[in-house]
Amino acid sequence: MSDKTKELTRAELEIMQILWEREAAFVNDILAELPEPKPAYNTVSTIVRILEKKEFVSHRSFGKSHEYYPIVDKDSYTKGYMSSVLNNFFGGSASRMVSFLSENKGISVEETDEIIKLLKEDK
């Protein structure tokens, strides 16, 4: 994965999901959308600053407040992440990945056919 699409921690991904959904948010907005038990304000603020340092988000300043927004879109991150999973766990083989998912996650024949159809269309 490139630097911009490196894997996010669970906490970082949870915050990115909110930013991707909202398109921009202040720390209080993010905090309001997190499930209980809610982390401390400072924890969320620290994670957002880490995401900014990793170049996943940027901000607009409003006095002492900062509104954060994603600079890596969800599709780009997902493609990079899934490409990494495909290469690191399945040797780059989509059929091995589909086979694994079918055996371990109970994918139906219909879902498998849909995956194959999508893969054929992508080529």
pLDDT tens for 15-66 read 999 999 999 999 999 999 999 999 999 999 999 999 999 999 999 999 999 9
- Residue pLDDT, tens place only, 84-95: 888 999 998 888
Q: Contact 51/16 with Cβ under 8 angstroms? A: yes
Q: Looking at the chain, how many residues does it have?
A: 123
| pLDDT above 60: residue 123 | no
List of domains in the chain? 3-70 (1.10.10.10), 74-122 (no CATH)
Residue 114 has pLDDT above 50, yes or no: yes
Q: Please report, for residues 57, 71, 72, 79, the alpha-carbon distance to residue 2 in angstroms, rounded to integers and kept in the order given.
A: 16, 15, 12, 11
Q: How far is CA 3 from CA 7, 56, 86, in A?
A: 9, 10, 18
Helix 109-122 and helix 94-105, axial crossing angle in degrees, nearest 10 = 160
The predicted pLDDT at position 25 comes to 98
User: Could you tell me the pTM of the whole model?
Assistant: 0.78
